[in-house]
C-alpha cells in the first residue's frame, strides 16, 4: 500500500513541480510589480514566454561547440531530479530514500557547472565574467548549505530531507536558536543561488554587475527556454526545501490518503505563496549590492551556519 501511495504522491509531486515552477516565478514577478506600483504581467507569463521561445529558431554562435547543445539538458535534468526529491505536500514519496541533502547540493553544483561551461563555450567576455562570479559565489554558498545540513543531521540524525521533515514535523524539536540561525543562513543562500536582489538582479540585462544573465547571453530559442525553465525550477526547489524543513506543517504522512494530500497541497501552495511574497517584499525593499560585497553576504551565511552547529553542540549537552 505504501508503495502505491508512494508512487502516486511522487507522480502528483512531479506534475506539481513541472507545472508550478514557472507559475511561482510569475507570481513573484507579479507581487514585485504590484509592490512597486506597476500592474505587472500575468502569472502565467513565464509559461507563455517558454512557449514562444520553443517555437523560435535558435541562433548558435559560430565559435560554440557541442557543450552549448548538451549543457542545458544536463542542467535541466539535474534541476528536475533535485526538485523531484524534495517533498512538497507528502512524505514517503517513492524517491524519498534518495532525497539526501548532500546529493541535492551535488545536483545543484552539477547544474551550476554545466551552466558555467556553457557560458565559457562561445568565448565571449560576458560569459567568462558571469561564470567566474557564479562559481566564486558558490564557494561560500555550498559550505553554508552543508553546515545547515550539519545542524539538521545533529537534530534529526540524518541528512535525508524526508526524514528531517518527518522529525521536525513531530514537533519534538521545539524552538531552537540553531534552527533560527540555520533558517537565516538558508534564506541567504537561497537568495544568492537564485540570483535575486541583493546578490544579482534577475530582471536586468546588459549591466556590468550581472551574473546569471551574463552566462546565458548567447542562448536563444530552445536553449534559452531550458535555461529559464531550470532557473524557475531552482527557485521552486529552494523555496520547497525551506518550506519542507522549517515549516513541515500539513505534510501528508507516508501512506496517507487523498484527503491528507489535498490538505498537503493546500498547505504547500500557501507556504510557497508566503515565501514567494516575502521574497518579493525583500527584493523590493533592498538595493542590489556591489559584486565584491556579495562574498561578505554569503560568507556571513556560512558563518551563521557554523554558529548554528556550534551552539547546537552546547545545547545537546554532549560535552
Task: Report the site for other proteins in 139-198 (rule: CB under 8 A).
Answer: 139-143, 145-147, 149-150, 153-154, 157-160, 163, 171-178, 180-181, 184
- C-beta of residue 241 within 8 angstroms of C-beta of residue 164: no
Only one residue has cell 551550476, namely 112
Q: How far apart are CA 279 and CA 281, in angstroms?
A: 5
Q: How far apart are CA 200 and CA 235, in angstroms?
A: 14
Count of CB atoms situated within 10 Å of the CB of 85: 26
| Residue 117 binding other proteins, by CB under 8 A | yes
Provide, rounded to whole angstroms, the least separation between the CB of residue 40 and other proteins: 27
Output the DSSP codes for 12-31.
Answer: HHHHHHHHHHHHHHHHHHHH
Count of CB atoms situated within 10 Å of the CB of 233: 26
- Find the binder of other proteins among 11, 36, 262, 310 (CB under 8 A): 310
DSSP label of 220: -
Provide, rounded to whole angstroms, the least separation between the CB of residue 79 and other proteins: 9
Q: Pick out residues in 195-224 that bind other proteins (CB under 8 A).
A: 206, 217-218, 221-222
- Find the binder of other proteins among 11, 34, 203, 313 (CB under 8 A): 313
Q: Pick out residues in 242-271 that bind other proteins (CB under 8 A).
A: none
- Using DSSP's 3-state secondary structure scheme, residue 10 falls into helix
**Which lies closer to other proteins via its Cβ, residue 245 or residue 260?**
245
Provide, rounded to whole angstroms, the least separation between the CB of residue 74 and other proteins: 7
- Using DSSP's 3-state secondary structure scheme, residue 248 falls into coil
Provide, rounded to whole angstroms, the least separation between the CB of residue 32 and other proteins: 24
**Which lies closer to other proteins via its Cβ, residue 53 or residue 251?**
53
Give just the sign of the alpha carbon dihedral 26, 27, 28, 32. positive
123-131, 193-201, 242-250, 256-264 -> range binding other proteins (CB under 8 A): 123-131
Q: Pick out residues in 285-304 that bind other proteins (CB under 8 A).
A: 291-292, 295-296, 299-300, 302-304
Q: Output b/e per residue, 95-113; b: 16+ Cβ within 10 A.
A: bbeebbbebbbebbbbbbb
**Which lies closer to other proteins via its Cβ, residue 65 or residue 266?**
65
4-12, 23-31, 40-48, 69-77 -> range binding other proteins (CB under 8 A): 69-77
Closest Cα partner for 236 from 73, 82, 40? 82
| Residue 78 binding other proteins, by CB under 8 A | yes
For residue 59, which phi and psi values (nearest 5 degrees)?
Answer: -115, 120
**Which lies closer to other proteins via its Cβ, residue 61 or residue 278?**
61
- Find the binder of other proteins among 65, 258, 262, 274 (CB under 8 A): 65
- Find the binder of other proteins among 8, 35, 94, 110 (CB under 8 A): 110
| Residue 113 binding other proteins, by CB under 8 A | yes
**Which lies closer to other proteins via its Cβ, residue 137 or residue 261?**
137
Cross-strand bridge partners of residue 160 = 100
Provide, rounded to whole angstroms, the least separation between the CB of residue 1 and other proteins: 21
Q: Pick out residues in 16-35 that bind other proteins (CB under 8 A).
A: none
Count of CB atoms situated within 10 Å of the CB of 43: 17
Amino acid at each position: 500500500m505504501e508503495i502505491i501511495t508512494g508512487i502516486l504522491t511522487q507522480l502528483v509531486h512531479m506534475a506539481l513541480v513541472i507545472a508550478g515552477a514557472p507559475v511561482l516565478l510569475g507570481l513573484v514577478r507579479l507581487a514585485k510589480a504590484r509592490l512597486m506600483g506597476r500592474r505587472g504581467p500575468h502569472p502565467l507569463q513565464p509559461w507563455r514566454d517558454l512557449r514562444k521561445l520553443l517555437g523560435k529558431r535558435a541562433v548558435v554562435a559560430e565559435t560554440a561547440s557541442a557543450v552549448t547543445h548538451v549543457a542545458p539538458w544536463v542542467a535541466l535534468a539535474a534541476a528536475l531530479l533535485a526538485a523531484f526529491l524534495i517533498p512538497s505536500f507528502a512524505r514517503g514519496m517513492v524517491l524519498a530514500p534518495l532525497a539526501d541533502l548532500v546529493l541535492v547540493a551535488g545536483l545543484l553544483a552539477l547544474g551550476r557547472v554545466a551552466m558555467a561551461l556553457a557560458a565559457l563555450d562561445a568565448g565571449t567576455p560576458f560569459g567568462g565574467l558571469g561564470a567566474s562570479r557564479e562559481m566564486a559565489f558558490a564557494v561560500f554558498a555550498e559550505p553554508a548549505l552543508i553546515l545547515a545540513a550539519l545542524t539538521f543531521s545533529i537534530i534529526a540524525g540524518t541528512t535525508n530531507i524526508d526524514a528531517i521533515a518527518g522529525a521536525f514535523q513531530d514537533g519534538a524539536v521545539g524552538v531552537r536558536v540553531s534552527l533560527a540561525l540555520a533558517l537565516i543562513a538558508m534564506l541567504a543562500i537561497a537568495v544568492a543561488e537564485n540570483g535575486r536582489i541583493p546578490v544579482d538582479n534577475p530582471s536586468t540585462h546588459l549591466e556590468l554587475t550581472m551574473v546569471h544573465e551574463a552566462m546565458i547571453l548567447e542562448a536563444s530559442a530552445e536553449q534559452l527556454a531550458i535555461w529559464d525553465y531550470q532557473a524557475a525550477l531552482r527557485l521552486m526547489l529552494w523555496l520547497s526545501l525551506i518550506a519542507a524543513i522549517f515549516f513541515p506543517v500539513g505534510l501528508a504522512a507516508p501512506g496517507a490518503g487523498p484527503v491528507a494530500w489535498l490538505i498537503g497541497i493546500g498547505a504547500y501552495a500557501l507556504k510557497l505563496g508566503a515565501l514567494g511574497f516575502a521574497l518579493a517584499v525583500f527584493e523590493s525593499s533592498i538595493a542590489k549590492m556591489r559584486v565584491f560585497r556579495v562574498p561578505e553576504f554569503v560568507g556571513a551565511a556560512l558563518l551563521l551556519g557554523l554558529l548554528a552547529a556550534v551552539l547546537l553542540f552546547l545545547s545537546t549537552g554532549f560535552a
